[in-house]
Chains A and B, each alone.
Chain A
Amino acid sequence: MRLLQYVVGGLTTGSLYALVALGIAMLYRSSRVLNFAHGDLATFATFIALTLLVRRLPFGIAVGASLAAAAALGAAFFFFIIRPAKESTLLGRIVITLGFALLLSGLMQLIWGNETQRFPFPLSDAPVLQFAGVVISQISLGTIVAGVVLMALMYVLVQRTRVGLAMRAVAQNAAAAQALGIPARRIYALTWGLASALGGAAGVLLAPVVYLDPYMMLDPFLKGFAGAVLGGIDSLPGAVLGGFLLGVAETVFAGFVSFKFKTTLAFGIIILVLLVRPEGLLGREYHRRV
């Protein structure tokens, strides 16, 4: 039962890592950009939601508006910064996203300050399920369910709709997709917007658990990024799996072995997996052209 309790805790954390990982993987798959501003964008969206909630807007409207704002910001970032810099190297684009992250972080500190704040949420910490010593709270259950639903919706969108087909086509070969009449730029912008909204959703789900401040996503972003690499950064199911695995692995290790080295272990596992499968658990095998 002890193990089960840690697994449940790990799944709650893992669902958030998975949401972050999914956003990162979507962007990488479509535009080959590792977006280091993903976490700050998510926090920015969460602060917008908080501002609206403080003004007594209904929760659904506040969160919906914040996710829309995150999507708009993500799409704008692609259109006005990433796209004009398409000739830059991979490293150059990473530096651009890092710069955007710093800009967003500075803006958040300027607008909302550095204070740690409680994020109002319709669910509470009260336990809803207690079975043989295993406890899960409303908020944890809500986080897991919301995370899974969002990921399922994203899967349906990408795999079962025409827009998703276009997204996959652009990801595989943008020039060919464009030649076939797919508006590649708009699809890129849509992908950036969706990924940013996913990040915003992760922020909104995380804030009631860990409190909101401009640095809230620092650790979850790093773990989500690691989860994406673990699962395969060009595989959406892989990124989700990686996020969940990382959450469970670090929680179980902390509970049974050591808290001081839980992050070390998590990254140790990633190194081992990448040594055996460089493409990640569910990533496509990488072939070098000769």
Chain B
Amino acid sequence: MRTVSRLALVVVAIVTLATVALSQPAERGVTPTEIVLGTTMPTSGPAAFWGVPISTAMDVWLRLINEQGGIHGRRFRLVVKDDGYLPPRAVANTRELVERDGVFALTSSLGTANVFAARDYVVETQTIWITPLASTDIWAGFRGKKYIFATYPSYIEEGIYLTTYAAQNLKTKTIAVFYQNDLYGQQGLLGVKRGIAKAPGTKLVAQVSYEVTDAEVAAQGQKIKESGADTVILYATPRHGALIVREFAKLGYRPTLVSSFTLTDPAMFALAGEAWNNVHLGAYLTLPGMGDAKVDNVLATLTRAVPALARNPFNANAGVAFIEAFLEGLRRTGPNLTKDRFVTAMESIKNWDGEVVRAVTFAPDRHQGTTRLYMIKAENGRYVRLTDWYNYSPKF
């Protein structure tokens, strides 16, 4: 009798444990019908120009996928938290997303300084992080990147490219850099310095910084003018980028202007006006209105859902580009979604084209999915493409 009782107890225990195990999601943030994603973005403050359209477009795109039934029967829920472009708030938001909201993956997060601040925590918690919007150089040589995948450029590589391009094609001899005094601007500045080392006959004559809270940049404009630089390279927020080119115009100073891709959005024409014409910029995605029907269709789809996105067409499309590879990874993973199966699926992506992002390649030893840039020029209120793709080596 005692044996029977013990046996019954064991059976009950096994059934209970099995029920509990089955009722628990296989992965944090994943149920049979839903995948929870999270991002921390500056939807207020000095970088809202980037954060609002990017996070809005991500949300719109995921909702459209939900309307089509989701992926393998799972619909998406995106939790967006505002960090105001402040690294401490970005870290707090990231912790909340992981520990309280229980996200399966972090999608993006904007700002090299913000991403850098949250980096250790995300790696320690082994959270999937798709395309953190930070210079990809911050991952070079960093351990524990198994769950990090990026389709975002490197500011250092871009700085090298912009500098060597200017030296070879724009008769650049003397360079000034106007940069944000944080990791974003410093990485760009480092790239320009390395580019100068590769471009004999060029030299850096001024490196002038601003703080992200600065309301105006009149003194910076004067200082750069005094340097006599024939070319000025910008690593700035859209507001400060527009302010400095207007300041140059005001001072009657007309250097060759070269800018990071971060100022690619056509909204810059509205902010800087005439002063934005003839600016040369790096680019890493095909821009709307450049003859790519798929890219134009994405923007049309987004603006049908949220008409305001038409004011920031590049940043809106970029929001889609940042999650496309992730969605492809989920499709390849199949219905049995676990983190490790997802990583394997992502690493199987080779030279894959999305609607906006193109030529994405991941591998077990390569989580930097895109490594190419090209040059564009602002002409009469629109951008024209100047070069073919320039490729650089992946660093992680």
Contacts and interface: CB of A to CB of B under 8 A. Distances in A.
Interface in B51-73: 52
Contacts of A118: 270-271, 273
A216 B49 contact: no
Size category of the B interface is: 35 or more
Interface string B218-242: 1110110010000000000011001
Contact of A211 (B219, B243, B251): B243
A161 interface: no
Interface stretch (B40-48, B103-111, B254-262, B343-351): B40-48
A9 B222 contact: yes
A260 B211 CA distance: 7
B214 interface: yes
Interface string A2-24: 10011001101100000000000
B308 A116 contact: no
B358 to A, nearest CB: 29
B226 A113 contact: no
Contact of B218 (A9, A113, A215, A219): A9
Interface string A117-135: 0100000011100100001
Interface residues of A, number: 39
A263 to B, nearest CB: 7
A259 B219 contact: yes
Interface in B353-392: none
A57 interface: no
Contacts of B215: 206, 210, 216, 218-220
Contacts, number: 88
State the main secondary structure of chain B at its contact with A: helix
B216 A209 contact: yes
B45 A215 contact: yes
Interface in B255-287: 270-271, 273
B210 interface: yes
21 contacts: A9-B218, A13-B216, A116-B48, A116-B239, A116-B271, A118-B270, A125-B250, A126-B250, A127-B252, A209-B216, A213-B48, A216-B215, A219-B215, A220-B215, A255-B222, A255-B223, A259-B181, A259-B219, A259-B220, A259-B223, A260-B209
B8 interface: no
